[in-house]
Chain A
Amino acid sequence: MANLLNIFIQPFSYAFMVRGLAASVIVGVVCAVVGVYVVLRGMAFFGDALAHAVLPGVALGYLISGGSRETLFWWALGAAVLVALAVGRVSKHAEIREDTAIGIIFASMFALGIALISTVRSYTVDLSHFLFGDVLGVSSRDLVLTAVFGALILLAIFFFYKEFLVLSFDPVLSATLRLPSSLLNNLLFVLMALTVSVAMQTVGVALMVAMLVTPAATASLLTHRLWQGMLVSACIGAISAVTGLYMSYYFNIVSGSAIVLTATFIFAMVFLFHPRRGLVWKRK
């Protein structure tokens, strides 16, 4: 019994593991809650683009600060907000389809980011941290930033719950109720951008979209109300973060991958064995 308990407790005798766990749980929850809107509004591609477009901002900060990672969060934040608002504007012009516009911005920003980072000779280690996250390198300062911005995002989602609900379900109602629709839309984009910057260190750029989409998609199979979906999604995000971190510790897997694979496993289980709509039951 003591042994079993030890398996759970032992990893956290290290301070960096405790910080890593705290950061992962916060990121898991925030991504999962914001992800509900990403899934509802069919913005998975947008989320992916946003995550990748952060890279040049981070790279620029990395070059300017001479390889220090202290200020990278702010560079990521700036880049993400800029891209989110740019995509919001571009998508209003009908000459280019929105997904095409996103595809162009997304790939070119990513390429620019890698190009910038590759000018530094020993770039591979840092690049892999940007791409796949470095949860064990979370400093106390990083953790505070993660917590503060995570809380801000969740508060905004809470306070604008009914407005975002209307905006996502029925933009025409939003217009007839004279809500400031484009302001609210931009606010939602900015919240997604903040989420991406907060999550960058933990899950990295490449796997970000999975954290946004997978728990939320799982929750959408299990619930019929928006707020229920958010709660369930947040739980799945948190469970994935904790489980993933244990797997990372014991099986020596990169933590971002482990977290994403856990979330995917939960999704697959729900998709297959859902009481009424599971794929397994449909086959019979």
Chain B
Amino acid sequence: MTATSINPLHPHVPHDPDAPILEVQKLSVRYDGHFALENITFHLHAGERVAVVGPNGAGKSTLFKVVSGVLPPSSGEVKISGFGPRGHICIAYVPQRSQVDWRFPASVADVVMMGRIGQIGFFRWPRRKDWDIVHTALEAVDMNTLADRQIGELSGGQQQRTFLARALAQEAQLVLMDEPLNGLDAPSQEAILSLLEKLQHEKITVMVATHDLGQAATHFDRVMLLNQRIIRFGPPHEVLTSENLLHAYSGHAQLIQSVDGLTTLADSCCDGEDENG
């Protein structure tokens, strides 16, 4: 974390460079007596690309909410770079497109600038440097020409890239993306996936919730198979076996053996409203 990304509200948030960027210990979340997440333990290293897969209601969104600090865990702890989540503004959350109010009166540049306000601080306005960072972020996702567009006028892929630019402007070290490829056409999906590669070169860690097991297998370093508990977490070829998938998806999906020997899966439902509990 650079000196520029110090949160003025909590100016002394320490980062231990040797600690994993994200460390989750014995994390459980309970709603009304039943577990949404149970005893989750894992850690991520800087620059990893991780796909989180699992059936609807597996707790993917809940996990992201706890990691980003929106939802307090019932028990267990989350550490960012070796320290508690308090004060860290280096986590970015890219919401599902269906959860964003696209009619909101904001331009692309406005939305990206929103990522800066943690660094800007109270009672201050964006300075030259902040605008430079916003434009650099927009350039990185190839959206500079659309900076003044109202966000509702964008295509799905452009909307997703706007939020990625916002994560860059935030100088996030850990980017959580909830179903970023949902409802995008193939070229837009490719554009997003290659952007994720770009992030990896800058040592930015990416965690993506997805329904697409094929993409999870081909574009990510590690895959987390989640259904309330972590079923398996490791390299794609070890995790995405028929046996594990049957275990995780029991009753939820059909398994289809594809030609290359990889098990692909048609989930019974996959868009829009994801699990909330």
Could you tell me which A residues sit within 8 Å of B by CB distance? Answer: 40, 159-160, 162-163, 165-166, 168-173, 175-180, 220, 223-226, 228-229
Which B residues are in CB contact (< 8 Å) with A177? 7, 89, 117-118, 170
Nearest neighbor of B87 in chain A, beta-carbon distance? A178
B107 x A225 contact (CB < 8 A): yes
Interface of A is mostly: helix
Closest 6 CB pairs of A and B: A177-B118, A224-B150, A175-B70, A176-B68, A162-B117, A226-B105
Which B residues are in CB contact (< 8 Å) with A178? 7, 9-10, 69, 86-89, 118
B93 x A172 contact (CB < 8 A): yes
B105 x A225 contact (CB < 8 A): yes
Which B residues are in CB contact (< 8 Å) with A175? 68-70
CB distance from B88 to the nearest CB of A (A): 7
CB distance from A162 to the nearest CB of B (A): 5
Which A residues are in CB contact (< 8 Å) with B125? 162
Contacts A165-B106, A178-B7, A178-B9 given; does A172 touch B117 at CB 8 Å: no
B91 x A170 contact (CB < 8 A): no
Which A residues are in CB contact (< 8 Å) with B170? 176-177
Q: How far is the CA of A170 from the CA of B7 in the complex (A)?
A: 19
Nearest neighbor of A180 in chain B, beta-carbon distance? B9
Nearest neighbor of B85 in chain A, beta-carbon distance? A178
For this complex, 23 residue pairs linking A to B, each with C-beta atoms less than 8 Å apart, are A162-B113, A162-B114, A162-B120, A162-B126, A163-B117, A163-B122, A165-B106, A168-B104, A169-B111, A170-B100, A172-B95, A173-B93, A173-B114, A173-B166, A176-B68, A176-B70, A176-B89, A178-B7, A178-B86, A180-B9, A223-B105, A224-B105, A228-B105
Interface of B is mostly: loop
Q: How far is the CA of A170 from the CA of B120 in the complex (A)?
A: 18
Which B residues are in CB contact (< 8 Å) with A228? 105
Among A40, A177, A225, the one with the most B-chain Cβ atoms within 10 Å of its Cβ is A177
Mask: chain B, 104-132; 1 = CB below 8 Å from A; 0 = not: 11110011011101101011011000000
Nearest neighbor of A229 in chain B, beta-carbon distance? B105
- Give B86-103 interface residues, CB cut-off 8 Å to A: 86-89, 91-93, 95, 100-101
Nearest neighbor of A160 in chain B, beta-carbon distance? B122
Contacts A159-B123, A226-B105 given; does A172 touch B68 at CB 8 Å: yes
Q: How far is the CA of A170 from the CA of B115 in the complex (A)?
A: 11
CB distance from A181 to the nearest CB of B (A): 9
Which B residues are in CB contact (< 8 Å) with A225? 105-107, 110
B118 x A172 contact (CB < 8 A): no
Q: How far is the CA of A172 from the CA of B100 in the complex (A)?
A: 11
Contacts A178-B9, A178-B86, A179-B118 given; does A224 touch B70 at CB 8 Å: no
Which A residues are in CB contact (< 8 Å) with B87? 178
Partner of B101, one of A163, A169, A173: A169
Partner of B95, one of A159, A170, A223, A229: A170
Q: How far is the CA of A160 from the CA of B88 in the complex (A)?
A: 21
Partner of A172, one of B70, B104, B106: B70
Which A residues are in CB contact (< 8 Å) with B9? 178-180
Nearest neighbor of B90 in chain A, beta-carbon distance? A176
